[in-house]
Amino acid sequence: MRRTMKNVPKAKAYSYIRFSTPEQERGDSLRRQTDAAVRYAAVHGLELDDKLTFRDLGVSAFRGANEETGRLGEFLAAVHHGDIPKGSFLLVESLDRLSRQKPRKAVKVLERICEAGITVVTLDDGRAYTEETLDEDPMALLVALLVASRAYEESAKKGRRVALAWENKRANANSKPLTSRAPGWLRLREDRSGFDLVPERAAIVRRIFEQTLEGRGQHAIAESLNRDAIPVFGRGKLWHRSYIKKMLADASVIGVYLPHRADRSGGKKLRIPTQPVEGYFPPVIDREVFDRVSALSNGRTANTKNGMANILAGLAKCPRCGATMTRVNKGSGPKGGRPYLVCTIAKAGAGCEYQASPCDQIELAIINYASAFYASAPSADAALQTAWDNARSIAEGIGVEIDRIVDAIRETGHSPVLLTELRRLEQLHDDAERDAAEAERRASAATTNRTNNTLDKLVAQLTSEVRDIAAINATMRQLFEKVEVDRSTGDLWFYWKHAPAEPAGIVYAWPKMET
């Protein structure tokens, strides 16, 4: 009797798509790479996972960003945690989609994937790389090395050209703006010949410098701007001390531009300041005023005696207005006061109710609650992938509309109506891309094994005799979207990344315990 193979499960396959520029997304690169993966899986009897896809759109592989912080790194993490089983296939257009680093490092990326039990298939030539083929077939390793060498040289040459172009721009900075980016009180002229002051914003800058010379502190200045309902520069909602401090030290208020160059020689990207360009911006403050304010700032000493360790740093949110909560010290004495969490909007005097939540009680409650996090962890939500796909489609659709407007401008000239519409669409596109990135991050966090492994790590950190608050905070950021701290009820509400609509609550203190 002939045996049937109907019950033999198909091997799982996952596609990895990457390109480095937004222009490629509006072109044919995405469709080409997607279609090639679908065809290969169909021909070779693989089950292509259409829900868990890995895409680094507009991410360069020249410095390894796609592996360190991108979706390729997410793929490797999913394999490590067992969410993607060994024996699966990773389908890529070519090896240069995985890495464009130096050949030795690029081949290491391929080896690391294969050693994890994954077969890497390059769709442009149909080659399949496994740990065994890399060990036993010298030609496979040689092909990988040659492809990596070619890809690295192409990227390096492009990088040199870009660097030379920026050097030329910097050399001509006195006669033509380098970029359209400028401080919030300036706008680029339509002919891109220079910058002009925005009168109402320039007046705000002068007010800030004048109040500083009158002896008002940065927090008091921010509070007065919020109280007077003065609009902030950019996308922020409120004035904060940090922005006031940054403005007071910014030489662009006297017209000086300080360009930077990127330095990666030490393994990390550093911004190195270059020669200042005098007269690049129109000044909004007299140099004498700027120097006087700088002298005042340099004469102040920062109070750094109190550590700022906070178990909910970057996570704590106000349940009333949704703003971030910050750590403050109340009281005086040899210990510098007791630390509390307060709403930043309330602290800035911008309308929210000022309530202080004691950090020590919050930390103690989280430590005591450690093992109960297992019971409150919600299951992974498949709808997150749909939300991600929808967000991407919206961004792509807006991109098509932007292309249409640009073509119309080229044909008919710089119509004010078309330019206004273009600016509106570009803003919408930026927002849509942020939404898509957020949806992608949530979808990638919805892998059950990875969540459980991270939760194991958090519980171990919380129950250890020696606790590292910074490490605990870093682990919590991997699990939770935010934590609402409700002072009126003494509740903490933890919003899980992979199921933000299902928060888990614990009580950290009864309100009557504190006055």
- Active-site positions read 20
The letter for the amino acid at 86 is K
Residue 287 C-beta-side C-alpha neighbours within 13 Å: 5
Strand order in the sheet with 338-343: 325-330, 338-343, 357-358
DSSP secondary-structure letter at 472?
A: H
DSSP secondary-structure letter at 325?
A: E
Q: How far apart are CA 109 and CA 111, in angstroms?
A: 5
Helices 199-213 and 241-248, interaxial angle, to 10°?
90
C-alpha dist (Å) from residue 27 to 32, 33, 399: 10, 12, 11
Category of 480 on φ-ψ map: left (φ > 0), alpha (ψ -120 to 50) or beta: beta
DSSP characters over 359-399: HHHHHHHHHHHGGGHHHHPPPP-THHHHHHHHHHHHHHHHH
Q: How far apart are CA 235 and CA 238, in angstroms?
A: 9
How many residues are given for the chain?
515
Residue 9 CB neighbour total at 10 angstroms: 6
Strand ranges, E, within 428-477: none
Q: Are the C-beta atoms of residues 436 and 371 closer than 8 Å to each other?
A: no
